[in-house]
Amino acid sequence: MPIIKSKKITKTYYTEEVETPVLHGLDFEINEGEFVAIMGPSGSGKSTLLHILGFLDDQTSGTYLFNGKKINDYTGAEIAHIRNKEMGFVFQAFNLLPRTTVYDNVKLPLVYSDYPEKQWDEMIIEAVKAVGLEHRMDFETAQLSGGEKQRVAIARALVTNPRVIFADEPTGNLDSKSGKKIIEILQSLNKKNKHTIILITHESETAKCAERIIHIKDGLIDSDRKVKNRKDANHGYHK
């Protein structure tokens, strides 16, 4: 059973009297354990799609099934619970809490979870280790480089061990070296821990690190294909 199933999803923004259609009916499925890149030029609707898939926004029409259940069938509390336990988010702008340590930033999702508090410490350390920042545990986020900040964001997305990680242009604010490291971490999470990764990007080099690329253009799927010569982030970015 696919973990994500989109049936004719459309999205239209309404402002006063102006209608702005963004998505025109998308049909696709994503299976558990896949690493999918969603590509497209800016304004193509790829971020909007990610927000709908991540329960952050509602579609205008069509059906979105997460884990076989329509989004409309979930209650507000269930949606919060799914965001917490089944999904992890990595944003282009990191969105870390300012004046807060790496440890406490990573802890944040656990605070809203039903994991017993005794396990938190172990889970946080494991997540921070997975992104290789255990030596920065007590640093405040302002003391970190951009790449390190994004790794903290990944650790935060990871800490509740979610099934799907959504990454919205995670390398957009980073230099190529840091960006490569981020993709490398995402790849290893996908391979080792079987996390489903949905990556939004407009860089084709980054997209080629995924198994499958969905191209979106003007709110429609332009192409949906497997990556033939999949890049390993390690090699692909070496100069």
Interaction site with another protein (CB under 8 A) = 51, 54, 56-57, 76-77, 80-81, 83-85, 88-89, 91, 95, 97-100, 108-109, 111-113, 117, 156, 160
Residue number, 100 or 178, with CB nearest to another protein:
100
- Alpha-helical (H) ranges within the chain are 46-53, 76-85, 102-111, 117-130, 146-158, 176-193, 204-207, 233-236
Token pair 């917490």 in the structure block, residue? 84
In sequence order, which residues have a C-beta less than 8 Å from that of residue 189 and are 6 or more positions away? 130, 154, 158, 165, 195, 197
**DSSP helix/strand/coil, 43:** coil
Residues contacting 190, CB < 8 A, separation 6+: 33, 35, 196, 197
Minimum CB separation from another protein for residue 81, in Å?
7
In the complex, the smallest distance separating the C-beta of residue 128 from another protein, rounded to whole angstroms, is 16
With beta carbons less than 8 A apart as the criterion, state whether 209 and 187 touch.
yes
Q: How near is the Cβ of 230 to another protein at its closest, in Å?
A: 29
Q: Which is nearer to another protein, 24 or 85 (CB)?
A: 85
Residue 107 gets the label, from left (phi > 0), alpha (psi -120 to 50) or beta, of alpha
- Smallest gap from residue 235 Cβ to another protein (A): 33
40 or 88: whose CB is closer to another protein? 88
Closer to another protein by Cβ: residue 113 or 188: 113
When the beta carbons of 84 and 206 are compared against another protein, the nearer one is 84
- Show the tokens assigned to 172: 């957009």
Provide, rounded to whole angstroms, the least separation between the CB of residue 103 and another protein. 13
Query: Strands 18-30, 4-15: parallel, antiparallel or unpaired by DSSP?
Result: antiparallel
